[in-house]
Amino acid sequence: MKLNSANINVMVKACRKASKTLIRDFGEIENLQVSVKGPGDFVTASDKKVEKILIEELQKARPDYSILSEEIGEINNDKSFKWIIDPIDGTSNFLHGIPHFAISVGLEHNDEIICGIIYDPIKDEMFVAEKGNGSYLNNQRIRVSSRSKLKDCMLFTGGPKKESKDRELALKEYYNFSTKVHTPIRKLGSASLDMAYVAAGRCDGFWQRNLKYWDIAAGIILVKESGGFVTDFYGENKYMENKTILVTNSKINKEMIDILK
């Protein structure tokens, strides 16, 4: 089985089209690393180009839906439906020529994410989920891992930034988890792909502070539809309000919350 509802088809088409620009621009990054000006402006331009294609494609198919996107902010139309877009999640990786970044698109209906796509164009991996219909990677059903002992788990995180007010707290959390697991904690630089990897069972848990809605929107439905948990650090569904997110398989959520507390 694969997901082929009307909304999913619209999202897939938009991501495929936008990815062509992204792949082409990524091929130029290596040349720009040695230029005097540097690649920063180029990456910003790529972000905006990808976003423009995504919005054009989504609006063509669903002209009445509202949009929240990282670069342009909000386009307010029908409040009950809203696209949540991150054109390049993992811009620092993109900037340095590291092939680990993604296009992320979620669809919200009445304040609940009902569809999501996280597309890694370099690896051609498309993670797709729809409420009630499961999560898929390139049309193959995916599920979270079944590891139940935290010490055996692979954990991901991100941050903190140099200027973060929660910097010391985040580093303490990192230390606390690092003493509980055998495998070193990974920091791969793309929150959406971190969440997709939990959904696919590639890693068992992910936590982070101060993410934006467009970083996590598509990942929320992917993880839930693959049998995982998405909460804040207190085990509640207030991840945007509390600016913390914890993403796990179905076995280690409570243990991770206890450590975060």
Q: Is residue 36 predicted with pLDDT exceeding 50?
A: no
Mean pLDDT of 210-237: 97
Determine the Cα–Cα distance for residues 28 and 49; give it in Å rounded to an integer.
15
Q: Is residue 234 predicted with pLDDT exceeding 50?
A: yes
Q: What is the pLDDT of residue 35?
A: 47
Q: Is residue 38 predicted with pLDDT exceeding 60?
A: no
Q: What is the pLDDT of residue 114?
A: 97
Q: Is residue 30 predicted with pLDDT exceeding 80?
A: no
Measured between its terminal Cα atoms, the distance across the chain in Å is: 40
Mean pLDDT of 151-167: 91
If residue 141 lies in a helix (H) or strand (E), which one and from where to where? Answer: strand 140-141
Q: What percent of the chain has pLDDT over 70?
A: 95
Residue 81 burial by Cβ neighbours in a 10 Å radius (0-12, 13-18, 19+): middle
Averaged pLDDT score across all residues of the chain: 93
- Extract the tokens encoding 175: 């230390």
Query: What structural domains does the chain harbor?
Result: 6-141 (3.30.540.10), 150-260 (3.40.190.80)
pLDDT in tens, 41-97: 777 888 999 999 999 999 999 999 999 998 889 999 998 999 999 999 999 999 888
Determine the Cα–Cα distance for residues 117 and 113; give it in Å rounded to an integer.
11
pLDDT in tens, 135-152: 999 999 999 999 999 999
Q: Is residue 34 predicted with pLDDT exceeding 50?
A: no
CB 86 within 8 A of CB 101: no
